[in-house]
Structure 1
Amino acid sequence: MDVVNTAQAEAWNGYEGEHWAGHHDRYDAVNNGFNGALLEAAAIGPRDHVLDLGCGNGHVTRLAARRARLGRALGVDLSAPMLARARSLTEREGVPNVGFERGDVQVHPFPDAAFDAAVSRFGVMFFADPVAAFGNVRRALRDGGRLAFLAMASPAGTDLGTVFAAIAPRPAAVTGHAGPMSLSDPDRVREILGAAGFRDVTCRTVHAEQVWGRDAADAAGFLAGWGPIRHNLGDGPELRAAITDAMRPFERDGAVRLRSTAWLVRARR
């Protein structure tokens, strides 16, 4: 496997990837509320071939495959731990038209014009060279092929932003403008995709409820283990207590539920 995004390869094959693989169900509970908007934007047909970028544990790959029941879905990711989880879950769920490959999207040798649609649920914010990565994806799409992805928006004004503000003296230390937030500016997204050769680029906000845990303490333990939090703030008892206090107002109906916002981006080859 050729890798140029070495820093991300190290992270996703180390602690970060192990945490996501070990807590796949919890990360899906956080992000599943966005699935419908993403898949509708991709307009997947029954015979389509679909590429899932940064597929992680493969939940969206399997959803896409079920829509493309006479076609196929391929998930690509840098993370060996998450791909192992994706394969085991796919076998357990009995989804036959799914494949997974370990690869760096920036340089992965996708076949030319092989896919009708490319999708991603929060998996495209980590490219070292996003123009190169999206250019490679464009090459893999047929003429007129569709790109649809979700990227993190600024948490300011959201429930998650309220939690971050309560636990971090400098919220930018958690969110920043790189990594998870690298595509939070729609003007930058349009510039990147235009440089990669895409057209008809649109960006709109979508909203969803995220389930972070059974109660505030459970949600705090999970969020404290999330890579950006752990890297920037550590994982001590004082932090967990602060997160628990920040999460408590969002306990309702047997869970911690936070309203969140993301960017839904669409484009065409």
Structure 2
Amino acid sequence: MQGPVDYDAELTRYGAVLRRAWDVRPGDRVLDIGCGGGRTTRDAARAAHAGRALGLDVSARAVERARALARAEGLGNVAFECADAQRYDFAYDSFDLAISRFGTMFFADPAAAFANIARALRPGGRLVMAVWQSGDRNEWDVTIRRALGDPQPRGPDPFSLADPAVVEEILRGAGFAGVTFTDVGEPVYYGPDPDAALDWVRGFSCTSAALQNLDPAAAAATLDRLRDALAEHLTADGVWFDARAWIVHANRGR
């Protein structure tokens, strides 16, 4: 794979895995949680045919891009809202399926968020989400934090739903049943070369947090060290890192 990196490119190897897991059916009403630029929402809308898909994200910029791309693709059964699924005023029983591609790990109150999502699903409706396994099982996180000299996460935690026991307790408390976990190992793409990968990683919250209190010389040295670490993962197809995720399935209780 060649070309610039964005979130869709980073997760390209997860796309086919997730589409199979979501199993969107014709006529489904689909909620996409943390939809970003809307790629997964648009995929769901196409699979649903006569159904519809709604993508939610807290980033106004991402939602604006998602709407523009949907218009360009001529999709009439998709909509996007800049909103937090934890607080969004869903109509009860209004969706058959809730999906998420690494978009559910950052709720301020996960119990409240998943209870709200459960209310939005019809009885028996499905939740299928991808969440990262622990940081030590994700080569990209280990490598970046080691290069930054910053082993402890700060700010939003992408691994907050890594523990199956914790996730199952949250989901059951929110009204879900039949909770299962599928182990998925697919690499993530960071760009065609180390410079592109560094540009991508500089946008991560852990990177900005590690750099913000450094003087210019120390920050430059840290970025050089990070670029070298990224270069160690350069292949003929670009910079790739091993990654590990759970695909979590659950059903709203009846």
Fold match, TM over 0.5? yes
SS of the counterpart of 2:32?
Answer: strand
Matched, 1:81 2:61: yes
Aligned match of 1:245: 228
Q: Secondary structure at the match of 2:106?
A: coil
The CA distance in 2 between the partners of 1:257 and 1:38, in whole Å, is: 19
Q: Percent identity of the aligned residues?
A: 40
Kindly indicate whether residue 211 of structure 2 is the aligned counterpart of residue 233 of structure 1: yes
Q: Which residue, out of 188, 192, 196, partners 1:214? A: 192
Instruction: Pick from 18, 33, 43 the counterpart of residue 38 of structure 1.
Output: 18
Which residue of structure 1 aligns with residue 181 of structure 2?
A: 203
Residue 157 of structure 2, aligned match among 179, 195, 209: 179
SS across alignment from 1:100: strand
1:35 is displaced (CA, Å) by: 2.1
Q: Which amino acid aligns with 1:211?
A: Y
Q: Is the 8 A contact 1:221 1:240 kept in 2?
A: no
CA–CA distance in structure 1, aligned partners of residues 198 and 82 of structure 2: 32
Displacement of 1:169 in angstroms is 2.6
Deviation of the 1:25 alpha carbon: 5.5
Partner of 1:9: none
Q: Secondary structure at the match of 1:143?
A: strand
Is the CA contact 1:116–1:142 (under 8 Å) kept in the aligned structure 2?
A: yes
Q: Which amino acid in the other structure matches residue 231 of structure 2?
A: R
Residues 225 and 165 (structure 1), Cα distance of their counterparts in 2 relative to 1, 3 Å cut: closer
- Greater CA drift, 259-268 or 224-233: 224-233
> Given that residues 155 and 260 in structure 1 are in contact (C-alpha distance below 8 angstroms), is that contact kept between their aligned partners in structure 2?
no
1:20 match: none
The one-letter code sitting in structure 1 at the alignment partner of 2:118 is: R
| Matching residue's letter, 1:77 | D
Equivalent position to 1:125, from 94, 102, 105? 105
1:1-269 mapped onto 2 (5 Å cutoff): 26-173=6-153, 179-234=157-212, 236-269=219-252
The alpha carbon displacement at 1:157 in A equals: 4.3
Conservation of the 8 A alpha-carbon contact between 1:224 and 1:239: no
Question: What CA distance in whole angstroms lies between the structure 1 residues aligned with 2:138 and 2:157?
Answer: 19
- Count residues in correspondence: 244
- Which ranges of structure 1 fall in alignment gaps of 5 or more residues? 1-23
1-structure distance, mates of 2:47, 2:65: 21
In the TM superposition, what is the alpha-carbon distance from 1:143 to its structure 2 partner? 1.2
Corresponding residue of 1:19: none
Asked if structure 2 preserves the Cα contact closer than 8 Å seen for 1:53 and 1:105, the reply is yes
Q: 1:152 to 1:139 in 2, by over 3 A?
A: same
The whole-number CA distance in structure 1 between the counterparts of 2:224 and 2:74 is 41
Gaps spanning 5+ residues in structure 2: where?
A: none
Distance 1:233 1:262, change over 3 A: farther
CA contact (8 A) 1:53 1:124 kept: yes
Residue 165 (structure 1) shift? 4.6
Contact 2:130 2:245 in 1 (8 A): yes
Which amino acid in the other structure matches residue 15 of structure 2?
A: N
Is the CA contact 2:148–2:222 (under 8 Å) kept in the aligned structure 1? no
User: In structure 2, what residue type is equivalent to 1:26?
Assistant: D
Amino acid in the other structure paired with 2:143: V
How far apart in 1 are the matches of 2:187 and 2:128?
A: 20
Larger displacement relative to structure 2 (139-148 or 153-162): 153-162
SS at match of 1:44: coil
Q: Which amino acid aligns with 1:228?
A: C
Name the CA distance, whole Å, in 1 between partners of 2:98 and 2:193.
36
One-letter amino acid of the counterpart of residue 159, structure 2: M
Cα pair 1:173 1:232 within 8 Å, conserved: no
TM-score, length of structure 2 as denominator length:
0.89
1-structure distance, mates of 2:139, 2:87: 37
